[in-house]
Amino acid sequence: MPEISSRVRESHVPRQRGGAALVSYVLPVFNEQDGIRHFHDELVAALGERPEFTYELVYVNDGSADGTLAILEDIAKNDRRARIVDFARNFGHQMAITAGIDEARGDAVIVMDTDLQDPPKVSLELIDAWRDGAEIVHARRRTRQDTLFKRATAHAYYRLLRSSTDVDIPLDTGDFRLMDRRAADELRRFRERSRFVRGMVASMGFRQSEVHFDRDERFAGETKYPLRKMARLAIDGLTGFSTAPLQMITKLGFAVLALSLLGICYALAMKVLRPEITVSGWTMLMVVVLFLGGVQMLSLGVLGSYIGRTYSEVQGRPLYTVRQVIAHDHDVAAGDDGIAGNGNGNGNGNGNGTGDDD
């Protein structure tokens, strides 16, 4: 049976055996029983093309409700490079990435989805760019096999986000990327709850580069990012890295003030020039009241989003809860580097740690 680590990791020490760099793969998984084994086989085949490195495969089971965990346990039993971070419940894609990075020990850390939309062979190109000196390598989508609606909304969103923030967030990139050890350790210091990992990575600086690839269709199963989750992630990205919505309220206020002044001028003109029809102003009155009411509700909603983020941060609750870490790595079982239980994510083992990328 797989051995379960029980001690909390105190620090990250890159492991090198005979001069071979260790590359860690962070692999969030949620209800992927139909495709996870095929993904693992594809990844192993790709890694066989780079035998000069050693690898660890950190699968994060994000509270899967199907047979995913049993398959992952079997994978760990047959591949000593694999370890499983098993969440106590579903915490979401961004938290799963966070937990995987907290657990990863490699000289380089690669984050990718397990639905084969991110081709494993492309990760080798990320490694090549890292060897050439890049500290963060983004996998940028040249094309993507999605619906027209998803392609159009994603295209518009990334450009809106980039134009409204001070952070240079790469266009058309998800969470598929490589970070070297220094960048990964820096990212582990970012512990906000409303997480937009790709924005955090872009904000850190370091030497960044891109690798272009064609994103494939899902191998099996359904997307774990329906419209509701995509909208939530988009809001997290916009409110987490931009005050543009707050600035929009101010601009909207000036616009409403200008329209109100025009309305006042119109009402006074009608009173003077057409006094016989002033009683018929009920329609305008209703339009103005409804318009102002809508503007006020929109403004309160934007303010509420920022206040809600502050409320969540003040609570100081763990980002995630780990039920167990499963591995055949005897060093981990002995307590060298494993993490288990709750974490507040400050890098000292109180981790907070998590769906499918948009």
pLDDT digits (tens, 9 = 90+) for 95-135: 999 999 999 999 999 999 988 888 899 999 999 999 999 99
Residues of the chain above pLDDT 70, percent: 60
* Sequence-ordered list of residues with C-beta below 8 angstroms from that of 214, at least 6 positions apart, any chain: 141, 142, 143, 144
Half-sphere exposure of 104 (CA within 13 A, CB side): 35
Of 15-19, 194-198, 233-237, where does the model show the most confidence? Answer: 194-198
Using CA atoms, how far residue 225 sits from 94, 97, 222, 305, 357, in Å, is 12, 15, 9, 21, 7
| Helix, strand, coil share (%) of the chain residues, nearest 5 | 45, 20, 35
Query: Looking at residue 305, what is its pLDDT?
Result: 72
Quote the pLDDT of residue 277: 60
CA nearest neighbour of 126 among 176, 197, 169, 170: 176
Q: Which two tokens stand for residue 18?
A: 């005979």
Identify the pLDDT of residue 168.
73
Residue 70 predicted with pLDDT over 80: yes
Q: What is the pLDDT of residue 226?
A: 55
Strands (E) located in the chain = 3-5, 22-29, 54-61, 82-87, 108-111, 136-144, 173-180, 208-215, 320-327, 341-343
Rounded Cα–Cα distance for residues 131 and 177 (Å): 14
| pLDDT reading at 171 higher than 70 | yes
Residue-level pLDDT at 194: 75
**pLDDT computed for residue 312 by the predictor:** 67
Computed over every residue of the chain, the mean pLDDT equals 74
Domain 3-242+317-343's class? alpha beta
Do the beta carbons of residue 332 and residue 338 sit within 8 Å? yes
Which has the closest alpha carbon to 194: 112, 23, 334, 311? 311
Residue 58 has pLDDT above 90, yes or no: yes
Cβ atoms 329, 7 nearer than 8 A: no
CA 85/CA 321 separation, integer angstroms:
10
CA-to-CA dists, residue 332 to 81, 96, 98, 339, angstroms: 12, 20, 19, 9
Q: How far is CA 8 from the centre of its chain?
A: 24
Higher pLDDT, 144 or 111: 111
* pLDDT, tens digit (0-9, with 9 covering 90-100), for 178-206: 999 999 999 998 888 778 787 788 878 88
Q: Which of 103, 181, 15 is nearest to 339 (CA)?
A: 103
Mean pLDDT in residue range 153-160:
68
Highest mean pLDDT among 49-63, 164-178, 191-205, 221-235: 49-63
pTM above 0.95, yes or no: no
CB 225 within 8 A of CB 358: yes
Alpha-carbon distance of 176 to 118, in angstroms, equals: 7
φ and ψ at 179, to 5 degrees?
-130, 140
pLDDT greater at residue 127 or residue 339: 127
Output the pLDDT for position 128.
92
Q: Mean pLDDT, to the nearest integer, of 260-265? A: 68
Maximum average pLDDT range among 29-33, 94-98, 106-110, 155-159: 106-110
